[in-house]
Amino acid sequence: MPNTFHAQTSSVVLEPVAEYFKMLSEVSRLQILSCLRAGPMNGKDIIEATGMGQANLSKHLRALTQAGILSRQPQGVSVYYKIADPIIFELCELVCDRITNQLQKQAKEFEMFKDFIKNSK
């Protein structure tokens, strides 16, 4: 995979990157993506799974679809949404792994501090 990200990358190139990450900066959108990991779902199913209101869900589904992360497939009177860009899950796993590592490191530091306090009594 070529490395297209470097220090002199123009704002014209970086703008879509920022927009893509902006799509992932909402907890509600991450909930939707998490639901759709199992497969396509219609709006009613997503509402039941997430507890979101209809208007809020519609707003997020529209944004994710416009960003190319989701696709929509009308089926009869329902519209089913599915992941159009499966690499999204690899990206989320990378972030989750990074956060897990940071939390584990922090937990070790707290344990060391706790031991220090206990031994200095």
Tokens of 19: 């927009």
User: What is the predicted pLDDT for the residue at 24?
Assistant: 92
pLDDT tens per residue, range 38-90: 999 999 999 999 999 999 999 999 999 999 999 999 999 999 999 998 899 99
User: What is the predicted pLDDT for the residue at 64?
Assistant: 96
pLDDT tens per residue, range 23-43: 899 999 999 999 999 999 999
Q: What distance in Å separates the CA atoms of residue 87 and residue 80, rounded to the nearest whole number? A: 20
For the chain, the distance separating the N- and C-terminal CA atoms, rounded to the nearest angstrom, is 55
Residue 9 has pLDDT above 80, yes or no: no
Helical axes 27-36 vs 43-50, angle rounded to 10°:
120
In sequence order, what E strands does 20-100 have?
41-42, 70-75, 78-83
The residue written with tokens 């396509």 in the block is 40
Q: Which of 15-24, 68-77, 112-121 has the lowest mean pLDDT?
A: 112-121
Q: Which of 1-15, 65-79, 88-102 has the lowest mean pLDDT?
A: 1-15
User: What is the predicted pLDDT for the residue at 4?
Assistant: 59
User: What is the predicted pLDDT for the residue at 6?
Assistant: 61
Residue 1 has pLDDT above 60, yes or no: no
Higher pLDDT, 78 or 113: 78
Q: What distance in Å separates the CA atoms of residue 19 and residue 15, rounded to the nearest whole number? A: 6
User: What is the predicted pLDDT for the residue at 54?
Assistant: 96
Within 8 A by CB and 6+ apart from 56, the residues are 28
CA 7 to chain centre: 25
